[in-house]
Amino acid sequence: MNIDPRGCVSSFFTRIQQADKTYMDAFEEEIQAFQQRIVARAKQKIDEAIKECEEEERQKRIGPGGLDPQEVFESLPECLQKCFESRDTKLLQETILKLDPEDAKYHMKRCVDSGLWIPDKNQLNDDNDDNNNEKDNDDGDDDKQNNEK
């Protein structure tokens, strides 16, 4: 088939006008196959676009700690989910006290990292002050040891 494509055009239309049965059947099969490929590719492109859009939405939801709040919420025990849905902090505190301390710490850390729960600023400042005091105490011990030498 080393024929110039422009030379095939006239023979194509000649056969179409003659309505040769085998030629028309092959032509119709090719048209159907082409349409199926177009439909399949369109579905594939739509699926790719949906996945890309979902990934972008997920990236937008990512909290300050790098976790997706929706995924974290769905992984919480049902009792904690109810607390977050009702936005009842008192109920949340009571529920946390009922949980195993390790489980409670794990779930609350994930809630903070995902942005579902924002700790009280005063509590954060107290924690930072405690950490700074520990560092200051450590520094003071080093000075005492250096003075003894």
* pLDDT tens for each residue of 40-76: 999 999 999 999 998 888 777 776 667 788 888 888 8
Asked if residue 98 is part of any domain, the answer here is yes
Asked if residue 22 is part of any domain, the answer here is no
Asked if residue 80 is part of any domain, the answer here is yes
First-residue to last-residue Cα distance in the chain: 96
With b for 16 or more beta-carbon neighbours within 10 A and e for fewer, the 127-144 pattern comes to: eeeeeeeeeeeeeeeeee
User: Identity (one letter) of the amino acid at 130?
Assistant: D
Counting the structural domains of the chain, the total is 1
Asked if residue 29 is part of any domain, the answer here is no
What is the residue range of 93's domain?
Answer: 53-128
pTM reported for the whole predicted model: 0.44
Asked if residue 119 is part of any domain, the answer here is yes
List, for residues 115-125, the tens digit of each pLDDT value: 877 777 555 44
